[in-house]
């Protein structure tokens, strides 16, 4: 689509957002289902559209650091971490008094998760809207995240307008860090590896324990789930199972023949979508727990968790 047509499309979608509607848009991680974060009625439409539990907070997407500073308290430590913005990092920070965010966005917490996405169309949409956008992943709650516009359209049966920005570069959601005083805690592993964060800070960071109170998106035990039953760390595969491999070998689909964790992260949700459309059981090869493997394994463990 020529730039002029895309600019016209963005302007039309921004008008819909200002009018209190929901719009799906691309980020470098996954597609987001966005609404004006200052409009409670609009934010409720996200929960209604996704079927999302109200106790699960939303990430707020902003266009730049200046917009972020109108909403949250950015300590010196938070500003040090903001070197990763724009990028796949969400910081959970104290909300500023009078920030104007809907309290539905924070699910009653006094903190808010905020990030600057590294996708030109996402930034243009936020700028055109002129308001921060609350946006969880653009998929029915608990189901596989969408990494293409087609998956969004299919997931919501065409009921949600989508800004098509092509396939997402990272393929898994943002890393979420809580910044409290001088302490940084990883609440959710994501597309920014923990090692990269620790390299910037110069020391290890804490990791939230399993079962910790929900302080950010993606902390539910069962999340990102396909309809098919999922078996992890599979070394062998039953005849009725689809095999999702990693590294050399013969599989139904392979996250990365070369054993590249970045390639595997990009392919994870897309390949689970493909297998979920044709199989009732999916078995996944072991994935290393290093680097982006932490985020991939996190998503797989939540996808395989018992569903309440």
Q: Which of 207, 237, 257 is the last residue of a domain?
A: 207
Residues 174 and 254 in one domain: no
Residue 234 near residue 284, CB atoms below 8 Å: yes
In this prediction the pTM is 0.80
Kindly tell me if the per-residue pLDDT of 214 is higher than 90. no
| Segments forming the whole domain that contains residue 201 | 3-207
For residues 248 and 189, membership in a common domain is answered with no
Residue 290 lies in a domain: yes
Q: Is residue 223 part of a domain?
A: no
Residue 216 lies in a domain: no
Question: Which domain CATH number covers 195?
Answer: 3.90.870.10
78/118 same-domain check = yes
Domain count, the chain: 2
Q: Do residues 250 and 285 touch, judged by C-beta distance below 8 A?
A: no
Please tell me whether residues 116 and 236 are part of one structural domain.
Answer: no
Question: Which domain-ending residue is among 152, 174, 207?
Answer: 207
Pair (81, 114) in one structural domain: yes
Residues 182 and 113 in one domain: yes
Cα 18 to chain centroid distance, Å, stands at: 23
CB neighbourhood size of 205 (10 A): 15
The verdict on residue 79 lying in a domain is yes
Q: Which residue has the higher pLDDT, 46 or 269?
A: 46
Question: Is residue 1 over pLDDT 50?
Answer: no
Residue 124 pLDDT: 98
42 in a structural domain: yes
Do the domain assignments include residue 171? yes
| Same domain flag for 86 and 165 | yes
The pLDDT value recorded for residue 175 is 96
Residue 44's pLDDT is what?
86
Q: Which residue has the higher pLDDT, 292 or 90?
A: 90
**Span of 24-33, 191-200, 279-288, 289-298 with lowest mean pLDDT:** 289-298
Sheet holding 229-231, edge to edge: 229-231, 281-284, 242-245, 253-254
pLDDT at residue 250, rounded to an integer: 95
Task: Please tell me the predicted confidence (pLDDT) of residue 275.
Answer: 95
């Amino acid at each position: 689509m020529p730039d002029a047509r895309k600019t016209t499309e963005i302007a039309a979608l921004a008008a819909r957002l200002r009018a209190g509607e929901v719009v799906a848009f691309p980020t470098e991680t996954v597609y987001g289902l966005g609404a004006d974060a200052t409009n409670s009625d609009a934010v409720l439409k996200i929960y209604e559209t996704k079927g999302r539990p109200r106790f699960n907070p939303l990430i707020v997407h902003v266009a730049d650091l200046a917009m972020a500073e109108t909403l949250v308290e950015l300590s010196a430590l938070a500003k040090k971490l903001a070197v990763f913005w724009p990028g796949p990092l969400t910081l959970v920070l104290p909300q500023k008094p009078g920030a104007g965010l809907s309290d539905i966005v924070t699910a009653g917490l006094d903190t808010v998760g905020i990030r600057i996405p590294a996708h030109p169309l996402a930034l243009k949409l936020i700028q055109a809207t002129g308001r921060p956008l609350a946006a969880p992943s653009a998929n029915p709650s608990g189901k596989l995240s969408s990494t293409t516009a087609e998956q969004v359209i299919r997931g919501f049966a065409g009921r949600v307008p989508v800004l098509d920005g092509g396939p997402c570069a990272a393929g898994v959601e943002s890393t979420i860090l809580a910044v409290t005083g001088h302490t940084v805690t990883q609440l959710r592993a994501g597309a920014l590896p923990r090692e990269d964060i620790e390299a910037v800070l110069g020391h290890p960071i804490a990791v939230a324990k399993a079962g910790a109170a929900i302080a950010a998106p993606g902390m539910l035990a069962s999340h990102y789930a396909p309809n098919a039953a999922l078996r992890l760390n599979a070394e062998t595969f039953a005849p009725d199972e689809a095999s999702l491999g990693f590294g050399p070998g013969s599989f139904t689909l392979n996250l990365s023949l070369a054993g590249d964790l970045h390639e595997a992260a990009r392919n994870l949700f897309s390949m689970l979508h493909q297998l979920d459309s044709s199989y009732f059981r999916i078995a996944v090869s072991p994935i290393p727990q290093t680097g982006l493997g932490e985020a991939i394994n996190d998503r797989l463990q939540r996808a395989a968790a018992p569903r309440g």
